[in-house]
Amino acid sequence: MSVETIRRIVLLRHAKADWGQETDHERPLAERGRKDAPVAGRRLAQSGIDFDLALCSTAARTRETWKLAVHELAERPRTVYEERIYEASPGELIALLDEVPEDVNDVLVIGHNPGVHGLAEVLAGEAEGDTLARMNHSGFPTAAYAVLTFTGNWKSVEPGSCRLVEFWTPHD
């Protein structure tokens, strides 16, 4: 794999969760979340990105979001349920991305705010058009995703090393 390979990181925030009697980790999706997750999946399918790997938080709402979204993709990528994504800071998420195998070009991370939004902001050294302003203005709502690109190996992912090329929300 050449160091000039263009790689993509897609950061998907879980869909809208319910507030019940469960612990935060076990909160399920709300009705709106169960509607928005497949919409996000269809939009990801239309993006033309063939994910090699999905890294999903172990929280119930992220697992349920992924279960509903992945059915919209042409092929299910290898999926790893990663407990370190739950409540992760941008730095902790970068450390996780540093561990991605070099044969992976496109990775999807299904996680939570504020980590997902913070990671997108930290990584985006450049942005296409008004994508960064739109992302920051929206606050990265549930079921939204950001697409970042970079060249090099996974260990080269660091603050400012990526380009934010797309930001999408279910309200777009």
- Give the model confidence (pLDDT) of 107-161 as tens digits: 999 999 999 999 999 999 999 999 999 999 989 999 999 999 999 999 999 999 9
Does residue 85 lie in a domain region? Answer: yes
Does residue 1 lie in a domain region? Answer: no
Selection from 125, 127, 93 nearest residue 12 by Cα:
93
Distance (Å, whole) CA 38 – CA 49: 16
Q: What angle do CA 145, 161, 37 make, to 5 degrees?
A: 10
Does residue 39 lie in a domain region? Answer: yes
- The domain in which residue 116 lies consists of 6-168
Ramachandran region, residue 79 (left: φ > 0; alpha: ψ -120 to 50; beta: rest):
beta
Q: What angle do CA 71, 120, 127 make, to 5 degrees?
A: 105
Does residue 91 lie in a domain region? Answer: yes
What burial letters (b/e) apply to 114-133, b meaning 16+ CB within 10 Å? ebbbbbbbbbbeebeeebbe
Pairing of strands 162-168, 145-151: antiparallel
pLDDT digits (tens, 9 = 90+) for 6-34: 999 999 999 999 998 889 999 999 999 99
Look at residue 1 and tell me whether its pLDDT is greater than 60: no
Does residue 137 lie in a domain region? Answer: yes
Does residue 90 lie in a domain region? Answer: yes
Selection from 114, 81, 112, 146 nearest residue 17 by Cα:
112
The whole-model pTM stands at 0.95
pLDDT digits (tens, 9 = 90+) for 49-99: 999 999 999 999 999 999 999 999 999 999 999 999 999 999 999 999 999
The size of the chain, in residues, is 172
CATH number at residue 137: 3.40.50.1240
* Count: domains in the chain: 1
Does residue 134 lie in a domain region? Answer: yes
Check residue 98 and give its pLDDT. Answer: 96
Query: Rg for the chain (alpha carbons), in Å?
Result: 15
